[in-house]
Amino acid sequence: MPRKNVNCDECRKEIRGEEIAYFSDAEKDLDFCSEESKEFLEFGLTSSDYFYYRWLKNSKQLTPQQVLGNEQQLREEYNKTHRGWLEKYYPNKEEYIPSIYLNQQLEGVLDCRKYKGLKKIFISTQVERSKLKIIKGSCKYGNETFETKIIPCISAQYYLNQNYPKDGTCVRKNEIYKLDNFGKKREQITKLNISGEGSEGDLDLSDFTDLEELDCHDNYLTNLNLNNFIKNNNLNTSDLTIFSPMRNLKRLEIGNHNKNKIRAGIYNRIEGSCKPLKDLNRLERLNINNTDTNSGWEYLPDSLKYFYYDT
């Protein structure tokens, strides 16, 4: 699209006030004149669509008129690009985003430099890493700045079997929170912490028959057999019946609070009534924030001291 010789000051007066400063920068970077900015804005784009705007003009070489009628299809195509994917699922670079979970095949360059609180980027086993170059972000600890770590995800069951062999004893030393399960069989372990390991997929813990506390938050689990502390995962739709056999359970956190994961469709899908928890007479803490659990409050055990529920 050739640059038009227009009076930019006159055009700017007609553009929505809050967009002017942002698109002034866009004009410098992308060789847009204000008349072109005005045309795109009139078709419903905002300053948050900056890179989408750029992609339409430079990559697709489309005018606003050509976008009309094809916007949904173009949006879907753009969301499959690295820039579009970041904008859709992790749009606010100024907020605290400790991790990014890449579970969609992208190609080209994924530029994360503007994310200043980014500790880790988890790469799903579904993603072919060789097709993508990642420019890391950073995070600060005190006065020091560290580069973002890139961590390939692993099968949750594989991780468990390697560290807590089914027919052997725990080989894991120096566990966090001063846990010491080294040398114990699965049925002897009462406290288990496998949080933040980049595990994904299904996890079977049915051999851990004496568990009182389980922490596996901030992984990417989709199905879990026997569970207690599983917030911010990706469990498929279920109700609370799966927790009924766990009579020794003291703490159950299945809520969702990470809005970036929720935006990306990664969250625990728990629905229905609290009735299945009625016989958990040692339960002291329950968190079902942002789930679809919506009834059966009268069945909650008297032992409960802390209850977190929000929609």
Q: Is residue 84 part of a domain?
A: no
Q: Are residues 278 and 161 part of one domain?
A: yes
Query: Residue 106 sits in which domain range?
Result: 94-152
Q: Is residue 254 part of a domain?
A: yes
Q: Is residue 85 part of a domain?
A: no
Q: What is the pLDDT of residues 54-82, one digit of tens each?
A: 778 777 888 777 877 788 888 888 877 88
Q: What is the mean pLDDT of residues 92-108?
A: 84
Which pLDDT does position 20 carry in this prediction?
Answer: 41
Q: What is the mean pLDDT of residues 11-27?
A: 42
Last residue of a domain, one of 152, 171, 189: 152
Which pLDDT does position 218 carry in this prediction?
Answer: 78
Q: What is the mean pLDDT of residues 202-221?
A: 82
Which pLDDT does position 33 carry in this prediction?
Answer: 58
Q: Are residues 73 and 215 part of one domain?
A: no
Q: Which residue has the higher pLDDT, 42 or 188?
A: 188
CB 50 within 8 A of CB 27: no
Q: Are residues 238 and 200 part of one domain?
A: yes
Q: Is residue 288 part of a domain?
A: yes
Residue 44 banded pLDDT, cuts 50, 70, 90: low
Average pLDDT, the chain: 78
Which pLDDT does position 24 carry in this prediction?
Answer: 43
Q: Are residues 146 and 25 part of one domain?
A: no
Which pLDDT does position 303 carry in this prediction?
Answer: 93
Q: Are residues 107 and 68 part of one domain?
A: no
Q: Are residues 276 and 209 part of one domain?
A: yes
Minimal CA–CA distance to 201: which of 179, 219, 186?
Answer: 219
Q: What is the pLDDT of residues 141-155, one digit of tens each?
A: 888 999 999 999 999
CA atoms of 209 and 206, how far apart (whole Å): 6
Q: Are residues 230 and 171 part of one domain?
A: yes
Q: Say yes or no to pLDDT of 14 above 90.
A: no
% residues pLDDT > 70 (the chain): 79
Q: Is residue 221 part of a domain?
A: yes
Q: Is residue 3 part of a domain?
A: no
- How many separate domains does the chain show? 3
Q: Are residues 169 and 127 part of one domain?
A: no
Instruction: Give CB contacts under 8 A, 24+ apart, made by 296-303.
Output: 296/272, 299/273, 299/274, 299/275, 300/274, 301/277
% residues pLDDT > 90 (the chain): 22
Q: Is residue 290 part of a domain?
A: yes
Q: Are residues 274 and 136 part of one domain?
A: no
Which pLDDT does position 151 carry in this prediction?
Answer: 92
Last residue of a domain, one of 48, 79, 110: 79
Q: Say yes or no to pLDDT of 231 above 60.
A: no
Minimal CA–CA distance to 49: which of 62, 33, 37?
Answer: 37
Q: Are residues 282 and 256 part of one domain?
A: yes
Q: Is residue 51 part of a domain?
A: yes
Q: Are residues 267 and 187 part of one domain?
A: yes
Which tokens sit at 62? 């489309």
